[in-house]
Structure 1
Amino acid sequence: MLGRRAGRVRRDRRQIQTAVLGRAESEEPLVLPLEAIELDAFRNLHENDSFWCGLLLGGCGGQLTTKLYTDRVCHFAHHPGPDGQPHICGRRARGISSADHLYVKSAAAAWFRNRGEEADIAFAQPNGAPVGSLVDITFRHRRLHVHLDQALDPVWDDDGIEPVLGMSVPVDRDTLIRRWYVHRIRLDSEGTARRVKIGTEAFARPVEWFELDTCTMTERGLSTPAVEKIIRSRTSRPAPAWTAGRTRTAPDAELRAQVLLRQLADARKVEAVVVVTRLCGQIADVTGAKEETQVQLAAAVADAGRWLEQQTEVRRSLLADLEAAVDAGHTQRVRTLLTHVNATAGSDRTEEETRVVGAAADHVATVASAAAERVRTLLEDLRRLPRGLAAHLLRPQVQQLIQAAAEVGRLGPRQENQVAAWKARAGLSKPALAQTAAPRPAVVQPHRHPQLHKQVARRHWMKTSCPRCRVGSGQECVVDDGSRSRQVRHVPHDERLQPIIDERRERQRNQPKPPPPWQVYEVTCPDCGQGADARCTTPGGPHRSRVERAKEFTRLRKPRPETGAEA
């Protein structure tokens, strides 16, 4: 048994993207840049720091080093063992999101501290949940349970606990209707860190996202600007509940019947399956009403029963469409269908339904994470282009930027403004295309000259000669101010560095189009050993390690498997 488990860990080739600084017990996380051009600057910045496979990341506590590659993503790696053999580590979560619980704790602590408040923040592990699945924040007499994955079901019936859901955690439409709104959390990559955003989701409303600094804690709980609008819009109060202590006279029975019929009609309008089922049971218990009313109630229940049967078929069809969209890699359709499924099939899911929804959520998260990295890289590349470049020369890169932004789903306000500005400069925005006269230049942020010497390692530019000061390879650049002092410069000339960067960029452009994302059930599970097309042995969906492996295969652009076997 032990040998089989050790062999499974040894074959685990997932690359480590997160670490902690200073020591194994540290709570200070960081994310390694994926591109070689960014890793040089990262190494300079952390020249005197040490990186560790943190215990709070589920790691072994060993020290890590950085690995630079130009043909695949850069990553952390363990130092080899004393015998020179590769280090064996059983850490499950290794991707960009594997340190999100540390970023959430850090952001929450700073948020409370800036308001002169204190809160207890812990990484709770009820029922043996993995560390990082649940962040428990206790403030005065209220608690926030931040669910970053689906390992634990949110608690909705405890007034002292308010769940905050990660992007992959579903919520059914009946819960949204009953609670008016729920909060979500997402983390966006910014360089070697992750930034927390809080979203408010309500029935028939898109999720509205806000910076953490715009949120507040009230007696009601966590509040965002969207919460106040939702509360103001809910002007109608729910009908009073029927109390068992009241005498059921005929007028009371008539009133009760009319209230239930109205509630049933409202529930069907918003397709609240659970509410309709419950109301049908309550209508069946009504006694003492007039014969005409009893006939009306029976007809309403019969009609609702037929409607529920139709909804079951709708639910089955939605899940089939969702699975087909995931298999085909149609990300936008997956997003749309996932929203409908979470609303209509959010409760009482079967194991198979849970598998389909989990695979869809993983697909969206993987594509969005990769697209966010592409947006950031493309924006950096565009900022380095010469000023005044003709619009037609900008368009190919700007079109790539637009496509990547669409795959992210929703950008932050700053990146949205940058994308809009580049669309205008390239003549791709609607107002610019509609004009017949020459378009006015877009207002963009002031151009900052890129620090090229931070993008190219010394070992690379020292192999070349400098076309400006004309020193040969292996020599430092000198000041070319017309004098003969030949004073050595602190940094090489840009003319010496730019060809190296241009060559790298050309290699990246010529790389083949990445294959579609790996699906969870195309890889072998490191935990339970289930092979391709076989579900994990847990009732709650695939193991987290299997999800991370699929994401890692996608990042590494590993070739897709042959039918029925992992490549």
Structure 2
Amino acid sequence: MLPLEAIELDAFRRHHEHDTFWCGLLLGGCGLQLTTKLYTDRVCHFAHHPGPDGHPHLCGRRARGVSSADHLYVKSAAAAWLRDRGLHPDIEFVRPDGVPIGSVVDIRFQHGGLRVHLDQAVQPVWDQEGHEPVLGMSVPVDRDTLIDRWYVHRIRLDSEGTARRVRIGTEAFARETEWFALGDCEMTERGLSTPAVARIVRSRSTRPVTQWGVSKAKKVPPARVRAQVLLRKLTDAVRVESSFVASQVLRDIANLTDVEGELKAQLAAAASDAEAWLEDQVRVRRELFSQLKEALAARDARQIRQLLAHVNATASHDRTADEITIADTAAAYVAEQQQAYVEQLQAKAVAKRAREEEARARRAANRVQTLLATLQRRGDTGSPKMMRKLVRELMHAASDAGDLVDADQQEQIGVWKTRAEIGRPPTQTARPAAALGAPRPMRHEQVARRFWIRRRCPRCQASAGRNCVVNAHTGTGTTSKTPHYERIEPILAERRARTERRRRTPGPYDIACPDCGRPPGERCTSPSGGVHRARVDRAREAGR
């Protein structure tokens, strides 16, 4: 999934610099190449390259929402989940009766299989071997199926960042749907199993026959006592507006016998009032689901949340197929809105950090400009220690400013780093013993004016015979008291080179004499007391 914010898309492009993107055929696309579109005033997105005639390309893909690739996420998650359990699945996007691709995902493996219905395009088949149905959030299931099968499995996909995570739910009659991560589920002899399945099976299994005799059988309370208990339950059910409990109590009252007189009349009156109340609740229920459907059509998020909470509290049982579809669609919409709200908060946080970093970079860029002006004004006249301190601060500010430092400023920073001898070892030059501990002279003090005034300054463009000026690169401005570093350094470099050549060139007494055989360091035994000519020539040849 392509990031929606420009700052995130920049990182996405760098990460996928050598990748290409194509309109997926498994998404209903055309298969042609895509490019990324970066916007700052709206969300970023993929787009097709223009056609040969320059007009926009027309693609047949219609579904572009966050759930349009759920079948691909289901395939990936199912393959990884089954491989971890030693199974090698064959996963296929089947299209019975030409339904859109992605409506049904068939997962087949040895000794079993699942058929995932992500929408209502294909009716689930419950008794087909090797195709246990797993229903999407919008696929309805009737009450009889829940009762006969004890439970059914559902699937939903939740957005996490730029991915979708699969969750499996177990729905049973008169129970809330329980949701689990795919890793918590297993394949058993019964088929797909979640932690809720074991509890449901245990609750529905037949209890073992007691070993006690008939004389130990539990005594049944008298009819009068049971009637009074049912009256109290019916009153409580109406008071808390539980139509499900009220319907159960009414069935128990209808099956109650051996009640006569005033108590029977009380039961009949209470049952009549409860039935009238249930009829009114049916009307209220229909109106409630009608309002929820209208709110979904109007995309009124606030009203959808309120009505869904009311529906789950008062009409969670015995829902029709239409009511299940409306409730599941509303639940999915609320979850999507909540996820969008979280993503919006995250995007705002990212944008805030980006603004803070941009402001910090602008402050650092202003600091770079100030420090360069300060160093230019001071030149080499100040303390070397203070100059190095300012140059180091300049380097830190330039690092924080990043791309806001232009090429000219980068060049000036490089010059000041060299002048402050930061980033390279100091030149090793021999100094007299008497000078040890003495402060090192500034560069302009090491070269007399009569030498550097003959040269043109490469920094301020001052011609030979003229002093340097303050405004670099322009040749104008106030005359500087000292020459620029760039005017002095070539002279010092030439002097260092000559010194190095003299140091490397051997003298006559650095080699053995070929005439008298004296070793290096000893004088020749010539009659005149001087050095033999052959020794001088050999020393000259060695120095070339």
* TM-score, normalising length: structure 1: 0.49
State the SS of the aligned residue for 2:69: helix
Q: 1:72 to 1:372 in 2, by over 3 A?
A: same
- Deviation string, structure 1 residues 436-488 (Cα, Å, up to 9, x no partner): xxxxxxxxxxxxxxxxxxxxxxxx964x2289x96389x9xx99994269xxx
Q: Does 1:322 align with 2:292?
A: yes
Residue matched to 2:167: 197
Shift of 1:143: 3.0
Q: Which runs of 5+ in 2 are unaligned?
A: 208-229, 357-400, 426-544
Give the Cα separation in 2 of the matches to 1:171 and 1:382: 46
Residue matched to 2:44: 74
Between the aligned residues of both structures, percent identity stands at 57
2:117 partner letter: H
Q: 1:204 to 1:150 in 2, by over 3 A?
A: same
- Deviation string, structure 1 residues 66-91 (Cα, Å, up to 9, x no partner): 11111111111111111010001121
1:347 partner letter: T
1:483 aligned residue (423, 430, 442):
423
Mapping of 1:88-127 within 5 angstroms?
88-127=58-97
Q: 1:172 to 1:343 in 2, by over 3 A?
A: farther
Q: Does 1:53 align with 2:7?
A: no
State the SS of the aligned residue for 1:96: coil
Residue matched to 1:128: 98
Give the Cα separation in 1 of the matches to 2:50 and 2:36: 13
CA contact (8 A) 1:182 1:200 kept: yes
Q: Which runs of 5+ in 1 are unaligned?
A: 1-30, 239-261, 387-459, 486-567
2:92 partner letter: A
Residue matched to 1:465: 405
Residue matched to 2:184: 214
Mapping of 1:172-183 within 5 angstroms?
175-183=145-153
CA contact (8 A) 1:465 1:472 kept: no
How well do the aligned residues superpose, as a CA RMSD in angstroms?
5.4
State the SS of the aligned residue for 2:93: strand
Q: 1:354 to 1:209 in 2, by over 3 A?
A: closer
2:306 aligned residue (329, 333, 354):
333
Give the Cα separation in 2 of the matches to 1:150 and 1:376: 34
State the SS of the aligned residue for 2:82: helix
Give the Cα separation in 1 of the matches to 2:12 and 2:180: 29
Mapping of 1:414-429 within 5 angstroms?
none
Give the Cα separation in 1 of the matches to 2:411 and 2:149: 71
Residue matched to 1:138: 108
CA contact (8 A) 2:301 2:334 kept: no
Tell me: higher relative CO, structure 1 or 2? Use CA pairs within 8 A at least 6 residues apart: 1
* TM-score, normalising length: structure 2: 0.51
1:329 partner letter: A
Give the Cα separation in 1 of the matches to 2:99 and 2:421: 65
CA contact (8 A) 1:53 1:64 kept: yes
Q: How many residue pairs were aligned?
A: 349
Q: Does 1:41 align with 2:2?
A: no
- Deviation string, structure 1 residues 508-540 (Cα, Å, up to 9, x no partner): xxxxxxxxxxxxxxxxxxxxxxxxxxxxxxxxx
Which of the pair has more CA radius of gyration?
2
CA contact (8 A) 1:170 1:342 kept: no
Q: 1:38 to 1:101 in 2, by over 3 A?
A: same
State the SS of the aligned residue for 2:410: coil
Mapping of 1:3-42 within 5 angstroms?
31-42=1-12
Give the Cα separation in 1 of the matches to 2:143 and 2:354: 46
Give the Cα separation in 2 of the matches to 1:199 and 1:385: 42
Residue matched to 1:223: 193
Tell me whether 359-368 or 88-97 shows the greater mean CA deviation: 359-368
CA contact (8 A) 2:37 2:46 kept: yes
CA contact (8 A) 1:172 1:343 kept: no
Q: 1:58 to 1:382 in 2, by over 3 A?
A: same
State the SS of the aligned residue for 1:97: coil
CA contact (8 A) 1:325 1:333 kept: no
